Each structure stands twice: as C-alpha cells, then as structure tokens.
Structure 1
Amino acid sequence: MTSFFQSKRLTYALLLIYLISLVWIIVLKFNLVAYHAGVERSINWIPFPRLFGLPGQGDRNELLLNVLIFVPYGLYSGILWQKWTLPRLIPVFLTSSFLFESSQYFLKYGAFDATDLVNNTLGGILGWITYQGLKKLAKSPKLARKWVNIFALIGTGIILGLLLFLKFNQLWIFRMQLLES
C-alpha cells in the first residue's frame, strides 16, 4: 500500500493548490478581482531587452523570482508525467507561462513580457531536472515522490500562510489608512 506521502493524489492536490496560487500571484497580483479600467497595457516581445541596449526591466530579483516560481511546476510534472521527456514538457511550461502572461495583459493587470516566458520556462525545466536528480539519488521514483510531496506539503503550508498573512496585513493597513483620512 502506498503511503500518504507517496500518493499521486497528494501530488495532484498540491499541483492544484500551486496552480491556484499562481493565478492569485501572477494574474490577480494578490487581489480578488482582476479587472482594472484605464490601466495601460503593454507587450514586450523581446526577451532581456537590456542585453540588446533597449529600455526594459532588468530587476535581478524579479528575474530570479520568475524562474523560482515555476520550479514546483517542473517537480510536479516530473512526478505526474514520468514518461514525458523534457522536450515534450518544455512546450507545456512555455504554454502555461504564455497563458499567465496573456491573462495579465487581457485582464489589464500587468504586461505581457517575453522575458517572463523564458524565465518561467527555465524554472519548469530546472524543477524537472531537480526531480530527475532526486529519482537517481533516491534510487526509486516512489521515494523521490515522497520527498517532493513532504517538502511541497510543508512549503505549501508556509507559502500559503505567508501569502494570507501578507494579504490580511495589507487589508488591515488599508483599513487603518481609511480610518485616518
């Protein structure tokens, strides 16, 4: 019998929570509604424009976060679609990132940025490679899945707790500002 932590059902549940969190973070920008009238939309089709001497974003922290935020997607993909090769998964990571970027643009909540597409895809690839390394280290896909699920369960709890704390703290500060005015 498969233990709770080795269960693919747990992995699917964690993936669902992760994807909902991504929508809330990337598309909704921690808000509950995603439409803002009058927000200027923009599209950047050139990844890493500063490398080409063009104006554009180049914040290293943002670039790193765009990679890191997709690493769990690669981990979950490695577990759930074990027979899929990396060349088959790269279009999945790219398409997912494209959908998030497009949603930001169409919902007027952010810009469509090709740099984010590249970085998110790279994050998915790094997650998949990490899972492959864990499988070799554990010498068992089930044990690797157990390690990822335990780590993901703890991480999901911490991240969701932090996100909720930040959101409620933001609401509290907003209410205090309203009371002061």
Structure 2
Amino acid sequence: MSVPEKNPPRPDGRALRIGMFAIYLVLLTWIVLWKLEVPYIGGGELRLVKWVPFVPGSGADGSAPLEAVANVLFFVPFGLYLGLLAPSWRWWRTAATVAGASLLLEAAQYVLALGSSDVTDLITNTAGGLAGFGLFVLARRRLRARTVPVMTRVCVIGTVVILLLSGIVVASPLRYAPPRDAASTSEAYGDPLASSFPSRAA
C-alpha cells in the first residue's frame, strides 16, 4: 500500500504566468495595431516605412518624446514576463526576442496599412523590454527566493490594471487611432502606438 505524501507539491503558478503573458500580448497587439479600435485593414496610403529613427523622414514627422516614452512603457511588462518565464536567459536573448516581436508588429502595420512602420518604434520597444528584464534582475538580487511569487503578483496586477484602463478607453468617446480616410494628413503617418492629440468620435 502506498503512503500518501504529507506535503503534496504546490503548483508553481507557471500556468498563471503564461496565461497572463498571453493576455498581455493580445492586448499589446490590439493597442499597437488598432489603438483599441475595432480591427480593420487600412488603405494603401497609410503604408509607410520610416528608416531613420527619431528625426523626420520618408514623409513622416520626427518622433515626439511622449510617443517614445509610451513605446518604452508598453514593452516593460514584456521584459518582466520573460524574466519570470525564462529567468536563465541572458540580456541579449531577451533583447532579440523583444526586437523580434516588435519587428513582427511593425511588419503587420505595413501589411495591413495601419500607419507608419518606424525604426524608432523598434528601438524604443526593445529598450522597454530590456528595462523590464533589468527590473526583474534587480528584484531577483533583492528578493532572492521570493522573486517569482512577488513579481508574479506585480505582473498579474499590472496586466489587470491595463485591462481595466483599456476598457475605460474603449467605453469613452476618446479615440487615438489615425483617421482611416486621411491619406494626405501628417496624422495618418503618426506613431502607431500613441497619439499626441486624442480626438473625439463624431
């Protein structure tokens, strides 16, 4: 007869972390590509590639500081989640993963004609992911054995807060997506992640 274990192993919460990471990725994609609007395919006039970072070029304006900061902040959770799910990774592997995901989003923007595909976004998004991974490394040095449960709670709470804020934005009259029929305006080629001047829906 087998003797039951006195202290059965507790679930480590990995499934929860993977699930919340998946929710974050879906939300991030929705924000980057459609700015919380109903998904759509744009017109060919919105298909633009801006190769020179931070400065005006290719028919697009230079990157506003607020837009660059928004890009960084939106990708910080990416680095945190990678730290939780792949704690043995070196920083360069994390950077490559974040840069690859950002490149896929920029390519999707071009294919779907949703706004400018900007090298600036690739740089700032990768910087945000590295910042998040760096925060995880610092937390691991400070918290040691408590790192995973503490950072899991931080990521879960942060993801839930972002979900709630996104719901508020969707329910509000504010709209941040570029106009679909504004082919000749500079707003049509603005940064696909953030808009300096939100507009109200008609």
TM range, smaller chain:
0.7 to 0.9
Q: Residue in 1 aligned with 2:61?
A: 56
Deviation beyond 3 Å, 4+ runs, structure 1: none
Aligned match for 1:87, one of 84, 89, 92? 92
Cα shift readout 1:125-158 (whole Å, capped 9, x = no counterpart): 1111110000110022xx2121222122222222
Aligned match for 1:167, one of 170, 177, 186? 170
How far 1:76 sits from its partner (Å)? 0.6
Structure 2 residue 108 is the aligned partner of structure 1 residue 103 = yes
Structure 2 residue 149 is the aligned partner of structure 1 residue 146 = yes
How far 1:104 sits from its partner (Å)? 1.2
Gaps of 5+ in 1: none
Instruction: Name the SS of the counterpart of 2:46 in structure 1.
Output: coil
- Give the % identical residues: 30
Instruction: Name the SS of the counterpart of 2:115 in structure 1.
Output: coil
Q: Residue in 1 aligned with 2:124?
A: 119
Mark the structure with the bigger radius of gyration: 2
Q: Residue in 2 aligned with 1:156?
A: 159
The whole-number CA distance in structure 2 between the counterparts of 1:88 and 1:150 is 24
Over the aligned positions, Cα root-mean-square deviation in angstroms equals 2.2
Gaps of 5+ in 2: 1-8, 175-199
Q: Residue in 2 aligned with 1:24?
A: 30
Q: Residue in 2 aligned with 1:135?
A: 140
How far 1:55 sits from its partner (Å)? 6.9
The whole-number CA distance in structure 2 between the counterparts of 1:57 and 1:96 is 23
How far 1:72 sits from its partner (Å)? 0.5
Equivalent position amino acid for 1:144 in 2: T
How far 1:39 sits from its partner (Å)? 3.8
**TM-score normalized by structure 2?**
0.76
Instruction: Name the SS of the counterpart of 1:49 in structure 2.
Output: coil
The whole-number CA distance in structure 2 between the counterparts of 1:41 and 1:71 is 27
Bigger proportion of residues as helix:
1
Q: Is the 8 A contact 2:75 2:132 kept in 1?
A: yes
Q: Residue in 2 aligned with 1:14?
A: 20
**TM-score normalized by structure 1?**
0.84
Range with greater deviation from structure 2 (127-136 or 78-87) = 78-87
How far 1:38 sits from its partner (Å)? 4.8
Distance 1:126 1:2, change over 3 A: farther
Structure 2 residue 47 is the aligned partner of structure 1 residue 41 = yes
